[in-house]
Amino acid sequence: MKIDIVSVFPEYFDVLNLSLFGKAQAKGLIEVHAHNLRDWTHDVHHSVDDTPVGGGAGMVMKPAVWAECLDELLGLEPADATPDAAVDTATDTAAGKPVLIFPNPSAPLFTQRDATELSHADHLLFGCGRYEGYDARIPAYYRAQGVNVREYSIGDYVLNGGEVATSVMLEAITRLIPGFMGNPESIVEESYTGEGALLEHRQYTKPAQWRGLNVPDVLLSGDHGKVDRFRRDEALTRTNDIRPDLIEQLGCKALDKADRKT
Ligand code: SAM
């Protein structure tokens, strides 16, 4: 997977050389390029922002500088399309097609489902906003060009910029690429994963007794059926307590007979 990131602070992404992400780059599973948006400016101050049209506090990222950058990274000819005259908007992660992603606190929430879908893409291009955000015509223009454009929030709070949000999404996406994790089993049964997505049961390691606290007896029983049932019940109970919205989304297919009794 090729990953391009555009930011006014590309150094933020030096951390991607560490840990599993660094190993995945060394193995050639992913290829990451962090670009400085200011490299596409032409003025002496390398300015990327301007005052909001209509007034208000702060600054907004200018469309022209983003367009020069994105045209080049997407391999598009500069054009003057209007969104109303849009060609078919691409929404799938078809082989070879880039997906252009803008972190945005006022966009739909990024979920494990999005991470799973995007882990199949060949090329992701992230545009990190700063200040009051980016001019709304930037995603609209690229949608009109037939580019697969996504805008995602990573949570109901406001960060200073899209860099941290991009790192969060990238980590969630890339760990699902086959070969990324040392043990592929570790991503099979996790919170939010699979058809009946629940929060995971609690985890314990050795020793069985620690500072007066015991691991639940059933986990020491060696009875795999009982262990599975215990974990499933705990996942259901925790999800019901902490994220009842996920229980409401569960289809009947995602429940087994014993679940219905709990
Ligand atoms: N004025 C914007 C608003 O109120 O919605 C906030 C802009 S924020 C200070 C600057 C940039 O940080 C955004 O353009 C976006 O790229 C990023 N950002 C901030 N919070 C985010 C979140 N929760 N999810 C994704 N991106 C976020």
- The answer on pLDDT for 142 being more than 90 is yes
For residues 80-96, average pLDDT? 60
Q: What is the mean pLDDT of the chain?
A: 92
Q: Do residue 87 and residue 165 come from a single domain?
A: yes
68 and 26, same structural domain? yes
CA angle, 8 then 137 then 112, to 5°: 70
Look at residues 159, 184, 209 and tell me which one is the last residue of a structural domain.
Answer: 184
Atom of ligand 1 nearest to the CA of 134: 14
Q: Please tell me what DSSP assigns to residue 230.
A: H
Tell me, yes or no, whether 114 and 197 share the same domain: no
Q: Determine the residue of 48, 59, 100, 104 to mutate for testing ligand 1's pocket, defined as the one with the most ligand atoms within 8 A of the Cβ atom.
A: 104
How far apart are the C-alpha atoms of 103 and 150, rounded to whole Å? 8
- Mark which of 166, 184, 202 sits at the end of a domain: 184
* Residue of higher predicted confidence among 260 and 85: 260
pLDDT digits (tens, 9 = 90+) for 211-241: 999 999 999 999 999 999 999 999 999 999 9
**Residue 162 near residue 127 (C-beta atoms within 8 A):** yes
Same domain, 176 and 59: yes
Kindly state whether residues 118 and 158 are assigned to the same domain.
yes
Q: What is the pLDDT at residue 85? A: 45
Alpha carbons 92 and 95: distance in angstroms, whole number: 9
Same domain, 108 and 163: yes
Which of the pair, 90 or 153, is modelled with greater confidence? 153
Q: Tell me, what's the pLDDT at 96?
A: 77
Average pLDDT over residues 32-61: 98
Read off the pTM.
0.92
Residue 148 to residues 76, 105, 170, 202, Cα–Cα distance (Å): 13, 19, 17, 38
Chain centroid offset of residue 236 CA = 25
Average pLDDT over residues 49-76: 98
Centroid of ligand 1 to alpha carbon of 102 (angstroms): 10
Confidence band, pLDDT 50/70/90 cuts, at residue 122: very high
Q: Which atom number of ligand 1 is nearest to the Cα of residue 133?
A: 14
Q: Which one of 133, 159, 184 terminates a domain?
A: 184
Closest atom of ligand 1 to 157 CA is: 23
CATH number for the domain harbouring residue 250: 1.10.1270.20
> Per-residue pLDDT for 80 more than 70?
no
Whether residue 151 is found in the same domain as residue 204: no
The predicted model gives 121-138 an average pLDDT of 98
Say whether both 197 and 173 belong to one domain.
Answer: no
Contact criterion met (CB below 8 Å) for 70 and 41: no
Task: Locate 3 and state its tokens.
Answer: 């990953």
Given the cut 0.95, state whether the ipTM is greater than it: yes
Q: Whose CA is nearest to atom 1 of ligand 1?
A: 132
pLDDT for 154-169, tens place per residue? 999 999 999 999 999 9
Residue 82: per-residue pLDDT: 52
What residue ranges line ligand 1, CB within 6 angstroms?
103-106, 128-130, 132-134, 153-155, 157-162, 165
CB-based contact 104:133 (threshold 8 Å): yes
138, 165: one domain: yes
Mutate to test the pocket of ligand 1, among 109, 126, 152, 159 (most ligand atoms within 8 A of CB): 159
Band of the pLDDT at 1, cuts 50, 70, 90?
Answer: very high
Q: State the pLDDT confidence band at 189, using cuts at 50, 70 and 90.
A: confident
**17 to 24, 122, 191, 239, 261: CA distances (angstroms):** 9, 20, 26, 35, 48
Same domain, 146 and 61: yes
Tokens representing 1 are 């997977």
Based on the domain organization, do 166 and 208 belong to the same domain? no
Residue 45 has pLDDT above 70, yes or no: yes
- Enclosing domain of residue 100: 2-184
Domain of residue 84, CATH code: 3.40.1280.10
Shared domain for 171 and 196, answered yes or no, is: no
- Structural domain count of the chain: 2
Residues near 126 by beta carbon (within 8 Å), at least 6 away in sequence: 3, 4, 5, 6, 101, 102, 103, 162, 166, 169, 170
